[in-house]
Structure 1
Amino acid sequence: MMTTIKEFTLIDLENVGLFVNGEWLTSLKEGTFSVENPSTKKIVAHVPKGGQKETEKAIAAAHDAFQTWSKLTAQERADYLLKLRDLMHDHKEELATIMSLEMGKAFLEAVGEVTYAASFLTWYAEEARRIYGETIPASSPNKRLFVVKQPVGVVAAITPWNFPVAMMTRKLGPALAAGCTGIVKPASQSPLTALAFAKLVEMSGIPNGVVNIVAGSTKEISDEIFNNPIVKKISFTGSTEVGKELVVQSANQLKKLSLELGGHAPFIVFEDADLEKAAEGALASKFRNAGQTCVCANRIYVHKNIKDEFAKIFVEKVKQLKMGDSLAKNVEIGPLVNEEGVIKVKAQVEDAVNKGAKILIGGTNGNLKNGYFFEPTVLDNVTNDMDIMKEETFGPVAPLTIFESDEEVIQEANNTKYGLAAYLYTADLKRAITVSEALNFGIIGLNDALPGVAQAPFGGMNESGYGREGGHQGIRDYLEEKYISLEL
């Protein structure tokens, strides 16, 4: 049974379609797949299940559109991006409602994500005008040497369910600004947000084929993206395990590939830190999106001399978080995305308790039995042999452990295959600099729990991937550098 909460302007939940070459495909041979509201476990929509044929059609459309889109001036492309940005702001509450309905993000947080997503369109509209070439001093008086930058061509974006609109604009923004066209494959848990965004693309007047969105069979869509020689570059956000498989797939045609993969972020609170600010930061980092972010705090290291005081302050703040149906305006913690997420979180908590950890707050799904809920949880006396200190949690569980020296905590923080984000709180300038430099992570939040912004590079080290999104660095992978040697 399907349940709808309101009539939407951007999407008809009773008649959802894929977006290919400016057309809405609503009836496919492969049938449909269902989208579930994790707050209620009820089906909210059935989405056409796209596959190889739809993907091939989308890639062909992007290729045709590239011939004219790439020839537009930077100003013309920027104008389109800014129009799309304005439409996102105009429809931000509807986009947030759709997002909350399909993947469980708390409504007010979803509104914030739309605003964040729109900022990438602003930034890359500006960056479109900053794609500079070079003139190189020649070694001969009758030669002139030039470097020009050109769009790579058709690109593909494979986006995750936990940030269904921000991850699209973080990829599409630089791609479109550079002059590329492409296809988006959204996660099956959150295709509706992507398809509502496609309606905004249509409303903006962006030419047909520039942006195409195909949801459905992950294997068929991915195989066509990687096997089709028209696609020149792929950007993927997801798990490290899948990312490794895509590296192998990309090798056959040497496709350009950027990967934003898993994380296991340390959050370090030094003895000289402002404990109120550090606890507030840990709360914001750990419990954003119910802990379902790649950069959220997964391991909280607190100096042994302040651990008890920090824990007391932190737990009091956690107590104030309201959990419930993600569409409720006063809710801060929504459900996890599916049952598998709940099972994983429960298993990590049980493993920790069995090995000696103490639950300071939470530890169950509360009294919310109808959705995929798990209470905001704080564990104390956590040790390195526990699963939660080794595996990404992707849930609202904060493990506390102690350290005694800077050298010890740096070693412990770096003791992971991941390298996406790390956080530290200290009032000591020397410590702030030396520890930041010693941590092997692509993003450092220094007394800052929310470092992500459109104008700064986002990406990881080690098995957290390679390439950068955001900042002026984020447009590089969508451009080829061509060297021209002119003999006079």
Structure 2
Amino acid sequence: MADIYQIGSLIAGKEVTQGGRDTRPVLNPATGETIGMLSLARLEDIDAAAEMAQKGFQQWSALSAFERARCLQAVAVQVRADIELMASLLTAEQGKTLNEARGEVAGSADLFEWLAEEGKRLYGRMVPSRNAAMQQMVQLEPVGPVAAFSPWNYPLALAARKIAHALAAGCSVVIKPAEESPSAVLHLARICIRCGVPAEAIQVLFGVPAMVSERLIASRHIRKVSFTGSVAVGRHLAALAGQALKKVTFELGGHSAVIVMDDADVERAAQLSVASKFRNAGQICIAPSRFFVHDAVHDRFVAEFVRMSQKLSVGDGAKTGTDMGPLAHLRRTEAMQVFTQDAVETGARIAVGAPDRPTRAGFFWAPTVLTDVPDHARLMREEVFGPIAPMVRFNDLDAVIARANDVDFGLAGYAFTSSLKNARNIQDRLKVGMVGINSFSVTAPEMPFAGIKDSGLGVAQGLEGLLDHMNVKSVYRAD
């Protein structure tokens, strides 16, 4: 076994691992073995990070947008140069395949590159005045230090989204990544500092989540809160941020419906659906998670979906030929067991997959397809966040759109059809923040990423995501 590495929080450019701080193990999900030990922040570390972020904000926001853009462009270049290193860190700690990890790293670089340019275009505006002796202007100003909390399913990409948007807007950032998969984000923060971001403008904290979030949000230095995670935690943090009257951007849960019409290209729809459903072992907030398939093509779609699911190789993400890696935690395999058992007990049938907990080492769950799933089954009401695909028949489009909308979530939705009329009907009536028609690609850097209902508050990406990091100032200037 390789030596167990020691890592910790990064405060003002210095890694904090000493001083008798509590630690927690970092596990490899493919083996369940400890590969690292992570030092956890103490209260004084959290306070120091917030104070440093205030100092960093003064330095970073004083630079011109063009100077900040050069730094962010350099970050994008260096991230691409380090793609193999960062991908290996992601695979070792989160479990996804190396190909998926490389895509995550490349996407993070793309995000920095686009935001480097867009940050130069955060224009104010002149507003014609009613009084000839008066000028009226609207100025955009960075809100200040941002407390950001990112999850374990996309450890780098979702942390990079928060870091890059904050920095492009002229804000400093204190990022608390997931303790389960810390190394790639630490590496990104060091790249930012090497590329010219002041060490005080980017802090990385690891610790007991409740302690870190409550302390940071209460800090007088923090002016905005950005969170990606579960609805339950989001509600709690929203209450804390509301009490402190701080701006928020929350990316919460999803339960994305897929509507496959009778005029769809069935083989292509099944191929894209399998690739999207089982990417990252289904641990994606925008993953397709409820398949509503028109009765006329249901059996053909399910047969093709099952055939391709059976061909997927499940194993260690670091090994060549692996199509799907393990789940990130033991608790995720336990959740899959509960969802599958509940569905079967309510009348669903297992078309392919493992109804019982796997016995091999690591946190694995086979790609699972269930048919005849009733709407009251838990996996039709709750976010599954794993490799289980429920299939449901329908005949009436209006009725199925109503069923698709009949959940508390409103993040993403998808449809496959060759009819422009159907496409327009579905995209206009699905109550979600993002819609993919004949595609599951809904995360382009230049497009807003947002949910409605229990799926979030604010906008996390695109120009709108940058504007969420700004204060608006009206200026009236008389002669």
Give the structure 1 partner of residue 51 of structure 2: 60
2-structure distance, mates of 1:58, 1:425: 47
Give the structure 1 partner of residue 74 of structure 2: 83
For the pair 1:459 / 2:453, whether they are aligned, the reply is no
2-structure distance, mates of 1:337, 1:28: 30
For the pair 1:72 / 2:68, whether they are aligned, the reply is no
For the pair 1:147 / 2:147, whether they are aligned, the reply is no
Q: What secondary structure sits across from 1:444 in the alignment?
A: strand
Give the structure 2 partner of residue 116 of structure 1: 107
Partners of 1:33 and 1:216 within 8 A in 2: no
1-structure distance, mates of 2:84, 2:19: 30
2-structure distance, mates of 1:85, 1:365: 44
Shift of 1:364: 4.6
CA deviation digits over 1:104-128, x for unaligned, max 9?
A: 1111101101111111101110111
Give the structure 2 partner of residue 187 of structure 1: 178
Give the structure 2 partner of residue 233 of structure 1: 224
For the pair 1:384 / 2:375, whether they are aligned, the reply is yes
Relative to the length of structure 2, the TM-score reads 0.98
Partners of 2:176 and 2:205 within 8 A in 1: yes
CA deviation digits over 1:240-285, x for unaligned, max 9?
A: 1111111110122210011000011101100000001110121122
For the pair 1:34 / 2:25, whether they are aligned, the reply is yes
CA deviation digits over 1:280-333, x for unaligned, max 9?
A: 121122111100011111110001111111111111111111100111132111
Shift of 1:99: 0.7
Shift of 1:365: 6.9
1:415 partner amino acid: D
CA deviation digits over 1:412-464, x for unaligned, max 9?
A: 10010000011100000011011110000001011001221111111101010
Shift of 1:29: 3.4
1:459 partner amino acid: A
2:76 partner amino acid: R
Partners of 1:364 and 1:374 within 8 A in 2: no
1-structure distance, mates of 2:281, 2:469: 33
1:246 partner amino acid: L
Partners of 1:324 and 1:368 within 8 A in 2: no
2-structure distance, mates of 1:141, 1:199: 52
CA deviation digits over 1:185-224, x for unaligned, max 9?
A: 0112111221122222233232211111011111221111
Percent identity reads 35
2-structure distance, mates of 1:290, 1:365: 17
Q: Equivalent of 2:425, from 414, 423, 434?
A: 434
2-structure distance, mates of 1:449, 1:381: 24
Please list every run of at least 4 consecutive aligned residues from structure 1 whose deviation after the TM superposition is greater than 3 angstroms.
364-368
Partners of 1:264 and 1:298 within 8 A in 2: yes
Distance 1:291 1:94, change over 3 A: same
1:93 partner amino acid: E
Shift of 1:481: 1.0
Q: Equivalent of 1:471, from 462, 473, 479?
A: 462
Give the structure 2 partner of residue 277 of structure 1: 268
CA deviation digits over 1:114-153, x for unaligned, max 9?
A: 1111111011101111010111111112111111111111
Q: What secondary structure sits across from 1:205 in the alignment?
A: coil
After TM superposition, the structure 1 = structure 2 runs for residues 169-184 of structure 1, keeping only pairs within 5 Å, are 169-184=160-175
Shift of 1:366: 8.5
Give the structure 2 partner of residue 18 of structure 1: 9
1-structure distance, mates of 2:193, 2:165: 19
1-structure distance, mates of 2:19, 2:10: 13
1:446 partner amino acid: I
2-structure distance, mates of 1:337, 1:483: 47
Shift of 1:233: 0.4
1:333 partner amino acid: M
Mean CA deviation greater in 430-439 or 47-56: 47-56
Q: What secondary structure sits across from 2:207 in the alignment?
A: coil
Q: What secondary structure sits across from 2:103 in the alignment?
A: helix
2-structure distance, mates of 1:74, 1:54: 30
What stretches of structure 1 of length at least 5 have no aligned partner?
Answer: 5-12
For the pair 1:423 / 2:424, whether they are aligned, the reply is no
2:257 partner amino acid: P
Relative to the length of structure 1, the TM-score reads 0.96
Partners of 1:284 and 1:449 within 8 A in 2: no
1:209 partner amino acid: E
1-structure distance, mates of 2:116, 2:464: 14
Q: What secondary structure sits across from 1:165 in the alignment?
A: helix
1-structure distance, mates of 2:143, 2:201: 14
Partners of 1:263 and 1:294 within 8 A in 2: yes
Distance 1:367 1:352, change over 3 A: closer
1:90 partner amino acid: A
2:44 partner amino acid: K
Q: What secondary structure sits across from 1:302 in the alignment?
A: strand
Q: What secondary structure sits across from 1:231 in the alignment?
A: coil
Distance 1:236 1:301, change over 3 A: same
Shift of 1:368: 6.1
Give the structure 1 partner of residue 210 of structure 2: 219
Shift of 1:367: 6.6
